[in-house]
Amino acid sequence: MSSARTTRRPGEQGIRSRDERQNPMSPSTLEPPLTLPYYGAPPMAALRRFFGNYLRFRGRASRAEYWWIILLGSVLTGLLQLADGGPWRLDFTLTPYPSGAPFQTFWVSLAAGAIALATFLPSLSLIWRRLHDVNRSGLWILLILVPIAGYVFLLILFVLPPRPEGARFD
């Protein structure tokens, strides 16, 4: 067998073909540092970065980092509601607590409160960094104080693709 010689242009040194580049979604790809956004982050990486950037309000967060946390939080909230009997709890009996509901509600409420306390600051910093990724100041979070329209506008901002100008917040 003879080895084929390839001619490369000056800008192509080190990469023979596009097929030989490492897939950015492969498990061997290293995560970017916590100070940089991780575009296309898998769920567990997003969760690690959520708690790893606990009080970091500088830098940016990718859409994947943000939406994986929103999905995980929504699933956890749904599970807690199911554990509490959910919105389907309709007890039409003569006794006030026929199914042990106060006991069950206490523990579920305690768990929900602990989760809310543990994730409040990381959620705030994640929102702040996501706003940076779309080139907005973190103070735009104050839009949440505007009923309905503020939520809708923030939702639109969270869905927007990253803007290169957002790097100024790194």
* Pick from 28, 26, 53: nearest CA to 125: 53
Q: Which residues of 63-100 are buried (b: 16+ CB within 10 A; e: fewer)?
A: bbbbbbbeeeeeeeeeeeeeebeeeeeeeeeeeeeeee
Burial (CB count <10 Å: 0-12, 13-18, 19+), residue 59: buried
CB 74 within 8 A of CB 96: no
Query: CB count, 10 Å around CB of 33?
Result: 8
At residue 125, the pLDDT reads 97
Confidence of residue 18 (pLDDT cuts 50, 70, 90): very low
pLDDT in tens, 122-157: 999 999 999 999 999 999 999 999 999 999 999 999
Residue 19: how many other CB atoms lie within 10 Å? 6
Specify the pLDDT at position 164.
93
* pTM, 2 dp: 0.74
Residue 47 CA: distances (Å) to CA of 9, 20, 66, 114, 122? 42, 30, 9, 17, 10
Q: Please state the domain extents for the chain.
A: 42-169
